[in-house]
């Protein structure tokens, strides 16, 4: 090989390696961009529905949807903001006390004492310090997440305003021979994520309302804030349900062990209703994926991308599954697409048959 050719190829490899290293250092930005794309899909879907029913241009409908969303958010913050802030403050203050009481109950129980003895360095002060540190860390993550959410919102607005422009720029990077397949993949990913978002919003709203009402009926403090937290955390499949039950149980522990047991039973009942009635009805119209894959993908993306990866594990997994289905199963193996609602049902034929 001539020296000039070898040098040129070596430089190309070094540039690709440098770009890969830079992208890895900017994983938070890449995941944030994906979150903005997900928000864009939601905005465009809502604008399309409004445009179809009101017979106005989609661009005007998009502006209306955005302004309506801001008004709803502002009204909610104005009406419930002080209540939520006060209740969240109560949760933050009550959770360490509840953890302390739980550890004291474990110490008084002979079986619990054996468990604590097996834990290296298990003691009341250490456990309390760990709980306080964990809550502080969660608070900083929430603040960081709010900052990321604002950035993602502005990016989503620009993407939603001119989606075809950015789609064209992405397709320009693909070799001409593969652009048709890439267009199919983009359409499939958009359809799958739209259906998943719609179903997820229904499930989150149902769990938030049910858990909030249940906590209120049980007489638990900060029921509204805990119900809101439960609904939002259910955006994370399976893991979010556990994360939502922990602070509610700790708050209930300050009112007594009986309250804590009632809260655990209430959350179990809510998720029984969700898993057996709400989710099956939603999945009949939306996209789902296997529970085992949901759990493993949450852990995997959490290790790779941190808290943002955990939050967006489900849609990221759907994107990967769509890519495998279209690029490998259908175009590589030549398999025909199946029903869209099982996620394996993605492809040109499914897109043509789905209204």
**Inter-residue contact 92 to 140 (CB < 8 Å):** no
**pLDDT band at residue 90, thresholds of 50, 70 and 90?**
low
DSSP per-residue codes, 266-303: HHHHHHHHIIIIIHHHHHTTS----HHHHHHHHHHHHH
* pLDDT mean over 306-314: 82
Residue 96: count of CB within 10 angstroms of its CB: 20
**pLDDT band at residue 132, thresholds of 50, 70 and 90?**
low
Q: What is the C-alpha to C-alpha distance for residues 138 and 241, in angstroms, rounded to an integer?
A: 16
Residue 69: count of CB within 10 angstroms of its CB: 14
**pLDDT band at residue 349, thresholds of 50, 70 and 90?**
very low
Q: Residue 57: which residues within 8 A CB-CB, separation 6 or more? A: 51
Q: What is the C-alpha to C-alpha distance for residues 109 and 96, in angstroms, rounded to an integer?
A: 20
Q: Residue 204: which residues within 8 A CB-CB, separation 6 or more? A: 231, 232, 234, 235
The closest of 205, 209, 187 to 197, measured between CA atoms, is: 205
For residue 306, report the phi and psi dihedrals to the nearest 5 degrees: 75, -155
DSSP per-residue codes, 186-230: HHHHHHHHHHHHHHHHHHHHHHHHHHHHHHHHHT-TTHHHHHHHH
**pLDDT band at residue 127, thresholds of 50, 70 and 90?**
very low
- Domain parsing of the chain, residue ranges: 30-353
pLDDT at 298: 82
pLDDT at 352: 39
The pLDDT tens digits for 212-239 are 888 888 888 777 777 877 787 777 777 7
Residue 58 pLDDT more than 60? yes
Give per-residue burial for 145-168: e unless 16+ CB within 10 Å, then b.
Answer: eeebeeebbebbbebbbebeeebe
What average pLDDT is seen over the chain? 76
Q: What is the C-alpha to C-alpha distance for residues 32 and 148, in angstroms, rounded to an integer?
A: 7
Q: What is the C-alpha to C-alpha distance for residues 32 and 38, in angstroms, rounded to an integer?
A: 10
For residue 287, report the phi and psi dihedrals to the nearest 5 degrees: -100, 140
Q: Residue 43: which residues within 8 A CB-CB, separation 6 or more? A: 62, 65, 66, 156, 157, 160
Please report, rounded to a whole number, the percentage of residues in the chain having pLDDT higher than 70: 72
Q: What is the C-alpha to C-alpha distance for residues 241 and 257, in angstroms, rounded to an integer?
A: 21
What pTM was estimated for this model as a whole? 0.70
């Amino acid at each position: 090989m001539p020296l000039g050719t070898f040098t040129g190829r070596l430089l190309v490899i070094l540039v690709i390696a440098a770009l890969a290293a830079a992208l890895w250092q900017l994983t938070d930005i890449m995941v944030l961009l994906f979150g903005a794309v997900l928000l864009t899909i939601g905005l465009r879907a809502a604008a399309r529905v409004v445009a179809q029913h009101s017979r106005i241009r989609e661009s005007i409908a998009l502006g209306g949807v955005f302004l309506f969303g801001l008004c709803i958010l502002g009204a909610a913050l104005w009406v419930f903001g002080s209540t939520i802030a006060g209740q969240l403050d109560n949760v933050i203050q009550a959770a360490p006390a509840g953890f302390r009481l739980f550890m004291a109950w474990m110490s008084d129980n002979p079986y619990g004492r054996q468990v604590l003895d097996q834990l290296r360095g298990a003691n009341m002060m250490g456990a309390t310090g760990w709980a306080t540190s964990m809550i502080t860390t969660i608070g900083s993550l929430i603040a960081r997440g709010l900052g990321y959410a604002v950035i993602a919102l502005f990016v989503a607005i620009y993407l939603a305003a001119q989606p075809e422009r950015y789609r064209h720029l992405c397709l320009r990077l693909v070799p001409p021979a593969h652009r048709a397949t890439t267009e199919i993949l983009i359409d499939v990913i958009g359809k799958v994520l739209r259906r998943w978002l719609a179903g997820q919003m229904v499930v989150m709203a149902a769990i938030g309302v049910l858990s909030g009402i249940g906590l209120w009926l049980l007489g638990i403090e900060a029921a509204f804030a805990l119900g809101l937290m439960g609904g939002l955390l259910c955006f994370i499949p399976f893991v979010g349900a556990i994360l939502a039950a922990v602070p509610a149980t700790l708050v209930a522990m300050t009112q007594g062990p009986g309250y804590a047991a009632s809260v655990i039973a209430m959350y179990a009942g809510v998720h029984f209703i969700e898993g057996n009635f709400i989710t099956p009805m939603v999945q009949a119209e939306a996209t789902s994926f296997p529970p085992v894959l949901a759990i493993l993908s949450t852990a995997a993306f959490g290790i790779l991308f941190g808290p943002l990866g955990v939050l967006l594990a489900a849609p990221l997994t759907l994107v990967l599954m769509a890519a495998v289905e279209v690029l490998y199963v259908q175009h590589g193996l030549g398999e025909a697409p199946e029903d869209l609602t099982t996620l394996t049902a993605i492809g040109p034929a499914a897109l043509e048959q789905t209204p």
